[in-house]
Amino acid sequence: MRRQPLSHPHTHERIALSKHGAADPYSLETQLDKHNIHPETWAWRNADYSQYQARNAALGQRVYGDRQVTSPWGRGSGDSSVSHIWISAAMINMLTVIPGVTVFHRLRAPGTPRRPLNTKFPIEHAVLHGSTVYLIDPNGSYWPNEPLGWTQKQNGRYGIGPKAYFSYNHEGLADGARRFMTLPGIQQVVPILGMNITPLPVRDASQYPAITPEVRWSPQGVGIFTINEMMDFISSSVTAALPSWHDNPELRTAMIDLQERTFFTFN
Whole-number pLDDT of residue 33: 85
Q: Is the pLDDT of residue 266 over 60?
A: no
CB 227 within 8 A of CB 161: no
142-167 pLDDT per residue, tens = 877 777 889 999 999 999 988 999 99
154-212 pLDDT per residue, tens = 999 999 988 999 999 999 999 999 999 999 999 999 999 999 877 665 555 567 788 99
99-114 pLDDT per residue, tens = 999 999 999 999 988 7
User: Other C-beta atoms within 10 Å of 53: how many?
Assistant: 9
CB 68 within 8 A of CB 260: yes
Cβ contacts of residue 205 below 8 Å, gap of 6+?
36, 199
What is the pLDDT of the chain when averaged over all its residues? 82
Cβ contacts of residue 40 below 8 Å, gap of 6+?
none
Worst-scoring range by mean pLDDT, 70-79, 135-144, 200-209? 200-209
From CA 197, how far away is CA 85, in angstroms rounded? 8
Q: Identify the structural domains of the chain with CATH numbers, from first to last.
A: 64-75+83-256 (3.40.1350)
Buried b (16+ CB within 10 A) or exposed e, 174-203: bbbbbbbeebeebeebbbbbbbbbbbeeee
